[in-house]
Amino acid sequence: MARSVEPLVVGRVIGDVLDMFTPASEFIVRYGTKQVTNGCDIKPSAAADKPHVMVDPDAPSPSEPRLREWLHWIVVDVPEGQDATKGRELVAYMGPQPPTGIHRYILALFKQEGAMEGRIQVADARANFSTRRFAAQSRLGLPVAAVYFNSQKEPAAKKR
């Protein structure tokens, strides 16, 4: 299957959040039975729990990436071929909580060279998080895959 960054460019993920990269892996992200595809809509209630994140076992990859980073969730030291929940969680998962309008949520996959002990610097606040800065400080380089979805605040339940 051809890997393309075009949807990431069109969705302004490349440029706003990530630098241009050449995809080297594909990964599958699911909230329940819903698979995340670039630009799809997912309700905050459907993404309240951690997603199931796996590197596609059928996709050719020069080596298994071992770090999955989401703007509201950071997991490192993921064992090769395992789900992200098997790794070490640096920032606890927090599902989408868009205040108003449509918000973009990005999952980026980086190749991790060795254990991350002693070289992780995670900001105390989730606000103003920079994927580029985190990758540079952690010596990760460019991502090997990424996917994003959109979410917007759900209407409040109608009162009778």
pLDDT one-digit tens code per residue, 47-89: 999 998 887 555 444 344 444 444 578 888 887 777 787 888 8
Class of 6-143 in CATH:
alpha beta
Beta pairing, strands 67-70 & 102-110? antiparallel
* Chain length of the chain: 160
Q: What is the pLDDT of the chain when averaged over all its residues?
A: 79
pTM for the model:
0.80
Q: Looking at the DSSP assignment, which residues form a beta bridge with residue 27?
A: 55
Q: For residues 25 and 61, is the Cβ–Cβ distance under 8 A?
A: yes
